[in-house]
């Protein structure tokens, strides 16, 4: 392993084992529309994105917080490619733990059915 590979591995943040993730934690992570947008953008484009490549209506520091919440909830995996922190949706792992949950979530649009009776 080269020094660059070791450095990239050392900078990779920890990720929870998918078997330790609770539905409560996932729901709390996805209650925020910015985080749902991140998940949708990853799913729609079928590729990994650098943190700065997302179309988000928040500052860089706030986006960093949202990525952290999603990673801790087990929804995304982050790794380094050069100097960029890349994000990938843990779709297959997540679907084994919560079958059908993400496809159902991703099929809904924000505000489509918010339960307020309007």
Joined tokens for residue 79 = 């790794």
Helical packing angle, 23-30 and 33-45, nearest 10° = 100
Confidence (pLDDT) at 2: 55
Distance CA 78, CA 103 (A): 21
9-31: pLDDT as tens digits? 567 888 999 899 999 999 999 99
Q: What does DSSP assign to residue 82?
A: T
- Asked whether 29 and 71 are in contact (CB, 8 A), the reply is no
Helix (H) or strand (E) holding 50: strand 49-50
Distance CA 66, CA 8 (A): 22
Confidence (pLDDT) at 118: 43
pLDDT above 70 (res 115): no
Residue given tokens 């928040």 in the structure block? 58
Confidence (pLDDT) at 13: 87
Q: Select from 92, 103, 110 the least CA-distant residue to 35.
A: 110
Helix (H) or strand (E) holding 49: strand 49-50
Confidence (pLDDT) at 113: 42
Q: Select from 61, 36, 64, 62 the least CA-distant residue to 51.
A: 64
Joined tokens for residue 85 = 């922190």
pLDDT above 70 (res 4): no
């Amino acid at each position: 392993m080269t020094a660059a590979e070791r450095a990239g591995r050392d900078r990779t943040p920890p990720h929870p084992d998918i078997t330790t993730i609770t539905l409560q934690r996932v729901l709390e992570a996805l209650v925020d529309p910015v985080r749902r947008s991140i998940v949708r953008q990853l799913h729609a484009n079928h590729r990994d994105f650098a943190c700065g490549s997302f179309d988000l209506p928040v500052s860089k520091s706030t986006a960093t917080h949202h990525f952290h919440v999603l990673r801790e909830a087990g929804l995304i995996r982050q790794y380094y490619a050069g100097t960029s922190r890349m994000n990938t949706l843990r779709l297959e792992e997540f679907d084994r733990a919560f079958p059908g949950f993400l496809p159902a979530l991703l099929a809904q649009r924000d505000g489509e059915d918010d339960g307020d009776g309007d």
